[in-house]
Structure 1
Amino acid sequence: MPRITPFLWFDGQAEDAMNFYLGIFPNSRTLEVTRCGEAGPGPEGSVLVASFELDGQRFNALNGGPQFRFTEAVSFVIDCADQAEVDHYWDRLSDGGTPQQCGWLKDRFGVSWQVVPTVLPDLLGDPDPARAGRAMQAMLQMTRLDIAALRAAADG
């Protein structure tokens, strides 16, 4: 079965980004790093492509230059079992980045992440529309998602 691998385009920060992510996610490792030689395209010795795994998910990072930037049109969702996980990933990924609404953030490299508690779909999809609506309204007021506050809001 084919494997789908996210391929991230950086402007000179592929190695820094890889090392940043490796320090955040458990069960992560560098797989392969291809460096530029005398012929380039970047400075000799700089990373051209880096392959790595974050908790078992493979990623590739390319130092492709300034032509393309990350946008929120593509983001990575981190399903968090509890508030401690939400806090861990939020604190680490937002360090040097930009918090955004509803559990979204841009890290220091411009990559968008959604740090989401696994209970969120249950709260937003509650069969009682009033409970679901209260949870939605609470979420819309948050940057980092707070599970206890979301539950309290749903309960009214």
Structure 2
Amino acid sequence: MTISTTGSTTIAPCLWFDDDLEDAARFYTGIFPNSSIGHLTRYNAAGPGEPGRVMAGEFTLDGLTFRGINGGPAEFGFSEAISFSIACRDQSEVDYYWDALVDGGQESVCGWLKDRFGVSWQIVPTRLYELVSDPDPARARAATEAMLRMRRIVVAELEAAADAAAG
């Protein structure tokens, strides 16, 4: 059997929120460029939720569509097993996304954080990939070791560590 994937098939992450999908969609679309809230489906008299409350919906973050549901208490809470990675072109972009997403959330290590809704994010400068893949093993190791000591990734510190190892 062959399944055609041209035209109408789409894949989108779907996130399970307790009861704050609308707040999350507003939070995320306020951070990312080219973002918007699509439809929000609300409960009606048929239930099972309170009429007028958001049941499900869609939002777009910089061109990527997400779906969400208000599924009730987090029987299936978010974990680091699924995260969203943002490849940043420079330190100012790292700082922007880090500060915006960690607001009300929690810092982790190596460029990871959890936002106020419990969703995990990786805020990664593209320079990190270059440095940890450096053809000089000493530079790559030094950059990796520096990254492992960081919460927010700081490009200048990665570069300084790599340069010191080469010296």
| Alignment TM class, shorter chain as reference | over 0.9
Q: 2:149 aligns with which of 141, 147, 151?
A: 141
Q: How many residue pairs were aligned? A: 156
Q: TM-score, normalised to structure 1's length?
A: 0.97
Structure 2, unaligned runs of 5 or more: 1-5
Q: Tell me the distance in 2 between the aligned counterparts of 1:16 and 1:130.
A: 46
Q: Give 1:116-155 correspondences, 5 Å limit.
A: 116-155=124-163
1:25-36 to structure 2, matched below 5 A, reads 25-36=32-43
Report 1:31-70 matches (<5 A): 31-66=38-73, 67-70=75-78
Q: Which residue of 1 aligns with 2:15?
A: 8
**TM-score, scaled relative to structure 2:** 0.91
Determine the structure 2 residue equivalent to 1:81.
89
1:98 to 94, 106, 119: 106
Which structure's CA Rg is the greater one? 2
What value does the CA root-mean-square deviation take over the aligned residues?
Answer: 0.8
What's the CA shift for 1:40?
1.8
Task: List 4+ stretches of structure 1 deviating above 4 A.
Answer: none
Alpha-carbon distance, 1:41 to partner: 2.1
Residue 39 of structure 1: CA displacement? 2.0
Whole-angstrom distance in 2 between the partners of 1:4 and 1:125: 31
What is the distance in 1 between the residues matched to 2:66 and 2:101?
16
Q: Deviations over 1:130-154 (max 9, x none)?
A: 1011001100111011011111111
Gaps of at least 5 residues in structure 1 are: none
How far has the Cα of 1:50 moved from its partner?
Answer: 1.4
Identity of aligned pairs, percent?
A: 58
Deviation readout 1:21-74 (Å, 9 max, x if unpaired): 010000001111100111222211111111010000000110011221000000
CA distance in 2 between partners of 1:114 and 1:3 (Å):
24
